Every structure is written in C-alpha cells, then in structure tokens.
Amino acid sequence: MMFFIDNPEQIQMMGLQSHRMAQQDFDAVVVNERLMSYFM
C-alpha cells in the first residue's frame, strides 16, 4: 500500500494491466479449452 501512496500515478496503470491479465487468463472460452485439453 505504501507503494501506491508514494506512486499514485501507478494505480490506474496497474489496475488496467490486472484487468487485462484477468480477462486473458480467466476468459470462459480459454478456461474451457484448457480444461478440455486435459481430457482429450
């Protein structure tokens, strides 16, 4: 938390990057394809 107090300009950028990563890693299509690859 101290990092964000000292660097408030990083809050939005890191939030957007986290959102983008979550969309890529936890997209339903991607997750389902990954799961199906284990069973095929």
Q: Which two tokens stand for residue 10?
A: 């990083």
Give pLDDT tens digits along the chain (40 positions): 899 999 999 999 999 999 999 998 889 998 999 999 999 8
Domain count, the chain: 1
> SS3 for 25?
helix
pLDDT at 32: 93
> Which tokens hold the place of 8?
């408030």
Residue 3 neighbours by CB under 8 Å, 6+ apart: 10
Per-residue model confidence (pLDDT) at position 40: 84
* Residue 4 CB neighbours (<10 A): 11
Amino acid in position 34: R
Question: How many residues make up the chain in this entry?
Answer: 40
- Domain residues for the domain of 3 are 1-39
